[in-house]
Structure 1
Amino acid sequence: MPVEPKLTRFKQNVLSKYQIYNSIFMTLPFDAISKTGVLLPLFHETCKKGFASGDDPTTIVDTFFKKYQARRNRESQINLLFRFIQYIERQVVLFDAIEDAAFPIVNNMEGIGTLRNLKESTVSQNKLDELKDYLEHFKVRIVLTAHPTQFYPGSVLGIITDLTEAIKTNNLNDINNLFGQLGKTPFFKHKKPTPYDEAVSLIWYLENVFYKSFGEIYNYIQQNIFIDTEVHNDIINIGFWPGGDRDGNPFVKPKTTIKVAKRLKQAILKCYYNDLKALRRKLTFRNVEERIINLETIMYNYSIDLGYKEAISVEEFKKELIEIRDIIINNHQSLYLSEINNLINRIHLFGYNFATLDIRQDSRIHHNVFTTVIDNLIKIGHPSFPKNYHDVPEEEQINILSKVDSSNLIDIDVFEDEMVSNTLKTIKAIKEIQGTNGELGANRYIISNNQTALNMMQLFAMLKIVAFDDELTVDVVPLFETITDLENAPAVMEQLYTNPVYMAHLKSRGNKQTIMLGFSDGTKDGGYLMANWGIYTAKEKLTEISRKYDISAIFFDGRGGPPARGGGKTHQFYASLGPTIEDKEVQLTIQGQTISSNFGTHDSSQYNLEQLISSGIANRMAKQQSAMSDEDRFVMNDLAETSYEAYKNFKGHPMFIPYLERMSTLKYYAKTNIGSRPSKRGTSDKLVFSDLRAIPFVGSWSQLKQNVPGFYGVGTALKAYEDKGEFYKVEHLYNNSKFFKTLLENSMMSLTKSFFDLTKYMSKDEEFGAFWNIIYNEYITTKSLLLKLTGYKELMENEPSGKASIEVRESIVLPLLTIQQYALKKIQELEKEAVKDTEMIEIYEKIVTRSLFGNINASRNSA
């Protein structure tokens, strides 16, 4: 039977179901306000027709009340708007659940990019041995971060999970009950989560999704590609930031880090216990049953009490299971062999750590902490630091730091400053975690905003004199973020590679250097094209310089959900890198909604992980193709430079900061209580661009439906080639470079999620009208030239099901966006009055804050 096209499968299994279930949902009374479900479709239609006629949000809301609810007073009108917000939030949940339920039907789970497809294609090309060799060296690491782009409380995520299961089986009774539960469950968080709360939320995914999907992927590779022989490489692993990421988050304390590490260990022990409990029912054989019961008892007690005296090491646990497996093979006809192998594989993947807890801090904080520590050590006459340390050149400082005497660990209790004390105690915590959870429990320290080799060597020395006096079992990882830092990165790394002591450390770490590159801040700093090209060229140069010194560069990408933050179709990026970029490992951050939308269910998690594994392999196979030609490279660089200039001019516009501050939702992000860390880095009351975090920055443009960071400068760069009659050069680049093609296709997603009719009223604004028109003109230019370049009649023409999903989501939140803009306009009007009505301003501000939730959730990856 032929498989229907993807768009048809989407319409049948997502769109049709949504229309049916939504009609049921809209009839349910959730509150004291009657007729909300009846009035919302009328309001939706008013919005649609109003924007088509060129009306502004205020006119649309006023028209609706005049036409359908003329008798309502102002208080009653505002109550209805709040009810609309509540309903729309829940419509988004319904659509999420339906899309999750249909995931394995809409996406071909055995199609291109899946492991089954990969195996079959390599067998047909007689390249199975090459694939095996590749899988023994290649790794994918997804790193879960607590970056606040997830607006669903845990209780709502639970409902989505249950609703997804009920929809899969069309269980109307359960669906009805869950609709009722959904209507009564609050979405708003009254207080910020603690970093530990964030960790617990993400550990849920480890226990309920990744434990299973990682295990099944690894089992498939072992059984079907390695034909049941041992795989030495773990291939896939997990990193974890909640509890360890201290960058800009004063609430992450050393105690938090220890507490999260303990919770991770307890979680994996609980998973092993559950597997042993299931095995116990099957392995009821002589010389086997008692041993399984013993292991089950140990894991149960150990998961409850990490100080359990009868506990065994991970090596002993694995050894015991291997011995049990041998007995079953030799004496019991290999009964339930695959189940035992599955558990052994999971122990191989997760150990006693479950995930590797990364520590991260800003280089500027580190520099201050380090200066305090050095001053103290100079004062007490530490042999490693001469009295004139601060006066010698940077190169000499690096030389001194590489040779610190770590035979006597420093006393960290003498430091009273909280930041100094916490930083030093965090280093101690890494050592402690390695003792309890194994080295993989915590073995990376990331320096964000890394600018120099000295930044890294300060950390290198501090690790040694605080806790690691014997062997340094921690990787020092620089994070290069701004365009300037990306350009300087190769010189910084060469300075370290020519340091004999640092090189000896790298040799002890397997001749590997992990280097992190930040897409989010890169885009905020340099615009879409330049950030991506800057990272691409930095990777090329870092690969070249690392290979020169026989070091394998491991690139770790700090990506967000949307294209503006390095997201979009991520696996296509990795498949497009070519031969000049090291590709032994794929490492990337997964955060907020990207966790729940791309990895939130067993099906989506398995599918997207397989796509990432395959993309790395596809890039390796593509090495037979040539790298980007000099001509194409020149055009790509020229486009990036032109777009960078356009973005810099835009960013430097006198209205840029005031527009974000007064016309967008930027200042409301801090009020949503979705993340533990502050929404900006500095403490100044005045908005400073460098203090802005990428998430509220990108998210605010998204709320305006003007996804500037995902396209600004692209149109200007393309137009420069069209104006000089050389557009064919860009077409040549587009046809030759998968990287450029992927870049533009992801930018199309940002354009597709834009809707300028929403804010068209701003074009007539006395103060901001000209600035709004600058953005709109760039949008029009980018859209028309991307269509010309690709030959498409409409955006995302090559991804009809993805486009259809975006269209449904955008349609659901259209009334929500209208209400948000209406409230923002009311606030602006009230602020201008001589006597301010603070009570009404507060009410409208509450409407804006509440409307953020549904908009972000509907876009899934818009921040």
Structure 2
Amino acid sequence: MTDKETTASVGRTLGITKPLRYKLDLIGRLVRQVVRQQAGIETARMIEDLMDLCEAASHSNQWRSHTNLQPRIADLDLDQLVWICRAFTAFFHMVNEAERQEIIRINRLAAQKETSESPRKGSILEAIHLLKQQGLSEDEIRLLVQELDIEPTLTAHPTEVRRGTILLKQDRIAELLQRLSQDRPLSDRDMARTIDHIAHEVALLLVTDDVRPDRLRVHDEVNNGIYYQTHAIWETLPRIIDDLSEALSTYYNINDSSPFLRFRSWIGGDRDGNPFVTHDITAQTLDAQRNAALDNYRKSIEALWKELSISSLRVAVPHALMENIKREAGTIALDPDKLHRYRFEPFRLKIAYMLAHLKQFQADPDNSIYSISQFRNDLTLLQNSLADCGLEALSSYQSLSNLTIRSRVFGFHLAALDIRQHSQVNGAVIAELLALGGVSENYPTLSESEKVYLLEKELANPRPLCGELGDFSDQTTELLNVFKLMRRVMNKDEQAIGAYIVSMTHSVSDLLEVLLLAKEVGMWRMKNDVVTTPLDVVPLFETIEDLQEAASLMEALYKNALYRRHLSARGDFQEIMLGYSDSNKDGGFWMANWALHKGQENLSEVGLKNNIKMRFFHGRGGSVGRGGGRANQAIFAIPIQSRSGRIRFTEQGEVISFRYARPFIARRHLEQIVNALLLTAHDKECDVGCSPPMQALMERIAIQSMQAYRKLIDDPTFWPWYKQLTPIEHIGNLPIASRPVSRVSASEVRFDDLRAIPWVFSWTQTRYNLPGWYGAGTAIEEEIKNDAQALEQLQSMWQSWPFFRTVIENVQLELARTRIEIAQAYSGLSQDRFHDIIAAEFEKIQSAVLKITGQEKLLDNHIAIQQSIVLRNPYTDVLNLIQVELLRRWAEHPEEQSMPLRQALFLSINGIAAAMQSTG
């Protein structure tokens, strides 16, 4: 970002494409220009000097230069440090957008070259093409597509640090940058105007607070989620479904546009550890989602009304349409003027009735006679009527076709809302109900078998425990109100509520307790041994121990006669959620991955043995340390036994804004998931990882890796070191979400209570990235030292086992993003031996990865990512060194712990998050 050596010149040495290089150069020039205007030449020169020094240190690997930089940064006043953070934060946000636009450009070029004989890699067309080449018959492909079931799930976990105001300004800059990428070059005048406009937006960006003045409310998070659902997701889903329909038509002459892709949400429904998510908030969330969906339908219907100006004087109007219009006159009133004006335009008249129904439903959904099924029937009537009056081409008209698909995907509820609560809360409420009902005074002290016996007995008893007459605690009143809300909503629209998810599931009783709560409010009934309920109950296995015991627990649950009757009511379907975040925090990266892989294998075998139709729900975060990485590669790594074509996965924080801010990116992301799921659902052949020696080797590495990880974090002096070293205290106070960083207290942070998201967030800030790799280096080194064949085995696994390859790919990505030399600057904040231990482990795992993959440097097999990291490093280093200085001032001068200093720390956190493109 300096005049001496711009980002573009760095880009040339790294081989970055010319269009991206141009944008990087432009972004750098505009930020420098605005800084000069707003902060003065001296500040601008200071920023450029720091950049020169960091670039020189980074490119020459002379880390002493970074050490020499620290005194210079220490001499700067707070205003100067803030200006540097602002400038580089804005720079990185725009670089991220430029890279995103380059991804779009490259993929569009590939799409232009696509043919049925040579489909794009990762596309839906490619998947069907490959399946055709593999000899799948028409019946086999129909069955495969019929089983396809994909449900991404949006969550509001606190990992998106940017304000909505900042996001809107970045969107405007993105639109302007995109103008510079258009196929038709702009005139010199338009080019100059566009660049001036970008400069004005950058100027506004730099004087807008990055940090929110107040913590996000749940209402804000709900609105953020709705924004993505009603824009890019709303736009993209019909295209994905059309893509599969066209691929089936191309290779199999099959016409199928069944909706296999739907979104769910946790936002406003996830109350685990979040006291602000009440039953009232959940009700408001459901209302907001419904109103957003109806607003979009009304806009689409109004557009359709403008298009379908078909006169009965020009075409023969189908009898079915005219009869329907006559019936509508008896159900809902239209303005007499409209009836007269559109008397010769029956399609418009029918659409006017549809709009009237939607308006009435939106005003009073509980008493409206209109429903989503009637809305779908009306759309089908329009399509059939167009075909019947000789307008076959219009019957599949894109806007009408897309609207029909959306009605089947989004319904009137937009996205099914999951309800999540901790098993301890459910158990405490059941204990209170049993005590008040005179059934048991000591439920919490009962053994597991005694609890199960008591719960079975009460579930079989038709009378409620307390009914409406109990004098309940606040916690019990609240949870019962949640279940009453679920009952009321599902009576009207069963699809509006997804499932009830039980966090920290440890036992059979944890699931039976939920059934008893549902029975208490009348949404679970059993008569003559037949259960009736709309509710799916989903266990969430999160710790290493729970993952290892999950198959045994589910076996016991399937053998439980009463729960099996419950499953019969749900079509013998069981969803199981796997927690990637807490398992990683509990056992380290390698053990978590292995425990999750084995858990899926064992759970699938148990489900198959018991004739249960299963779907795994993968609770992945954005970072590798929380199960993140490329979603399609994760699907290819799924165990053979678990490849069913059915999947759910969470989309969290900054991942949502990256994947779903632009329809093209959203479409590419989702098509890669569909591609992977189609190919893996068919591929059931055992790979090299199924061999006992490979499994045994993975097991030994996992055990040793977890031992090394736990040895580090269980050291009595580790936690005080971590709290002094990282900005975790400030992350806890950053107003980026409604949910506290700790399950117990927002102010007191302890390891056991700290959520996995801020745990990973804090390590990302310091550039250690420890949750993404720690422990495996020691384990692999020991295996190679003790077994001469181990390295050859590991290299074979890398070549042939998708799961192992994905693990290594994710490890090397986190290693490449790690900056041990910069992390050492943080270690100066807390004198202890831990930095040397972590640095030694880093060298071990880096050496192991290079040996296994046969590379000279990390990411030699992913040059574009490697180049992006190299380009970003010097600029990110500046932000890190500033953050170290700010943390030092906070710790050493309590009298200076002012709001401006804290805001500066918040700003440094935002800047590093933008630079790393990752928080938690």
TM-score by length of 2: 0.86
Q: 1:230: how far off?
A: 6.3
Distance 1:248 1:65 in 2: 40
| Distance of aligned partners of 1:313 and 1:842 in 2 relative to their CA distance in 1, 3 Å threshold | closer
SS of the residue 1:689 aligns to: coil
Q: Does 1:317 align with 2:375?
A: yes
SS of the residue 2:855 aligns to: coil
Q: Does 1:456 align with 2:511?
A: yes
Q: Does 1:293 align with 2:355?
A: no
Distance 1:659 1:632 in 2: 38
Q: Does 1:190 align with 2:197?
A: no
* 1:598–1:604 CA contact under 8 A, matched in 2: yes
Show the 5 A alignment for 1:82-231.
82-107=82-107, 108-109=110-111, 111-127=120-136, 129=138, 130-170=140-180, 171-226=194-249, 231=256
Aligned residues: 834
Q: 1:839: how far off?
A: 2.4
Q: Does 1:791 align with 2:854?
A: yes
Distance 2:28 2:445 in 1: 70
* 1:102–1:168 CA contact under 8 A, matched in 2: no
Letter matched to residue 867 of structure 2: A
Match of 1:743 among 783, 807, 810: 807
Match of 2:502 among 439, 447, 452: 447
CA offsets per residue over residues 623-680 of structure 1, 9 Å max, x none? Answer: 1344611111111111111111111111112332012111111111122100001111
Letter matched to residue 239 of structure 1: R
| Distance of aligned partners of 1:120 and 1:229 in 2 relative to their CA distance in 1, 3 Å threshold | closer
CA offsets per residue over residues 827-859 of structure 1, 9 Å max, x none? Answer: 3333xxxxxx51256654443222111111222
Match of 2:52 among 31, 45, 53: 45
Q: 1:233: how far off?
A: 4.6
User: Percent sequence identity over matched residues?
Assistant: 24
Distance 1:115 1:703 in 2: 37
Match of 1:645 among 695, 698, 707: 707
Distance 1:314 1:763 in 2: 59
| Distance of aligned partners of 1:850 and 1:679 in 2 relative to their CA distance in 1, 3 Å threshold | same
Distance 2:198 2:359 in 1: 35
Partner of 2:279: 254
Letter matched to residue 818 of structure 2: S
Q: 1:731: how far off?
A: 1.9
| Distance of aligned partners of 1:391 and 1:433 in 2 relative to their CA distance in 1, 3 Å threshold | same
CA offsets per residue over residues 158-190 of structure 1, 9 Å max, x none? Answer: 222232222121243542332233233321111
Show the 5 A alignment for 1:359-508.
359-378=419-438, 385=439, 393-403=447-457, 404=459, 405-408=461-464, 410-412=466-468, 414-436=470-492, 438-470=493-525, 471-508=532-569
Q: Does 1:14 align with 2:74?
A: no
Show the 5 A alignment for 1:37-76.
37-49=44-56, 52-55=61-64, 59-63=68-72
Distance 1:609 1:189 in 2: 32
Show the 5 A alignment for 1:550-569.
550-569=611-630
Distance 1:706 1:573 in 2: 24
Partner of 1:382: none
Q: Does 1:723 align with 2:785?
A: yes
Distance 2:16 2:123 in 1: 20
Q: Does 1:752 align with 2:752?
A: no
Q: 1:214: how far off?
A: 0.8
Distance 1:169 1:234 in 2: 34
* 1:443–1:473 CA contact under 8 A, matched in 2: no
Distance 2:736 2:691 in 1: 46
Letter matched to residue 739 of structure 1: F
* 1:578–1:623 CA contact under 8 A, matched in 2: no
SS of the residue 1:516 aligns to: strand
Q: 1:375: how far off?
A: 0.8
Partner of 2:879: 816
SS of the residue 1:623 aligns to: coil
CA offsets per residue over residues 737-779 of structure 1, 9 Å max, x none? Answer: 11011001011111111111113246678x6342110000101
Distance 1:29 1:762 in 2: 28
Q: 1:9: how far off?
A: 9.3
Distance 1:147 1:762 in 2: 26
* 1:89–1:853 CA contact under 8 A, matched in 2: yes
CA offsets per residue over residues 416-470 of structure 1, 9 Å max, x none? Answer: 422221111111111122234x111113111111111111111111111124144
Show the 5 A alignment for 1:698-713.
698-713=760-775
Letter matched to residue 165 of structure 1: E
Distance 1:459 1:183 in 2: 50
SS of the residue 1:515 aligns to: strand
Distance 1:672 1:225 in 2: 49
CA offsets per residue over residues 231-259 of structure 1, 9 Å max, x none? Answer: 47521111101111001100101000000
Partner of 2:908: 851
Uncovered stretches (5+) of structure 2, i.e. residues with no partner: 1-12, 115-119, 181-193, 313-345, 526-531
| Distance of aligned partners of 1:685 and 1:354 in 2 relative to their CA distance in 1, 3 Å threshold | closer
Distance 1:775 1:841 in 2: 33
| Distance of aligned partners of 1:276 and 1:809 in 2 relative to their CA distance in 1, 3 Å threshold | farther
| Distance of aligned partners of 1:548 and 1:65 in 2 relative to their CA distance in 1, 3 Å threshold | closer
* 1:96–1:160 CA contact under 8 A, matched in 2: no
| Distance of aligned partners of 1:390 and 1:172 in 2 relative to their CA distance in 1, 3 Å threshold | closer
Partner of 1:800: 863
| Distance of aligned partners of 1:10 and 1:253 in 2 relative to their CA distance in 1, 3 Å threshold | farther
* 1:824–1:845 CA contact under 8 A, matched in 2: no
Letter matched to residue 285 of structure 2: V
Partner of 1:27: 33
Letter matched to residue 773 of structure 1: D
SS of the residue 2:752 aligns to: helix
Q: 1:504: how far off?
A: 1.3
| Distance of aligned partners of 1:376 and 1:294 in 2 relative to their CA distance in 1, 3 Å threshold | same
Q: 1:78: how far off?
A: 1.4
CA offsets per residue over residues 383-433 of structure 1, 9 Å max, x none? Answer: xx4677667642243233234234547435634422221111111111122
TM-score by length of 1: 0.92
| Distance of aligned partners of 1:591 and 1:391 in 2 relative to their CA distance in 1, 3 Å threshold | closer
* 2:34–2:199 CA contact under 8 A, matched in 1: no
* 1:213–1:606 CA contact under 8 A, matched in 2: yes
Partner of 1:70: none
Partner of 2:664: 603
Distance 1:768 1:583 in 2: 51
Letter matched to residue 854 of structure 1: G
Q: 1:301: how far off?
A: 5.1
| Distance of aligned partners of 1:235 and 1:736 in 2 relative to their CA distance in 1, 3 Å threshold | same
SS of the residue 1:556 aligns to: strand
Q: 1:97: how far off?
A: 2.1
Letter matched to residue 81 of structure 1: L
Distance 1:65 1:396 in 2: 64
Distance 1:318 1:198 in 2: 30
Alignment RMSD (CA, Å): 2.5
Letter matched to residue 453 of structure 1: V
| Distance of aligned partners of 1:406 and 1:593 in 2 relative to their CA distance in 1, 3 Å threshold | farther
* More deviation, 158-167/195-204: 158-167
Show the 5 A alignment for 1:677-692.
677-683=739-745, 687-692=749-754
Partner of 1:381: none
SS of the residue 2:651 aligns to: strand
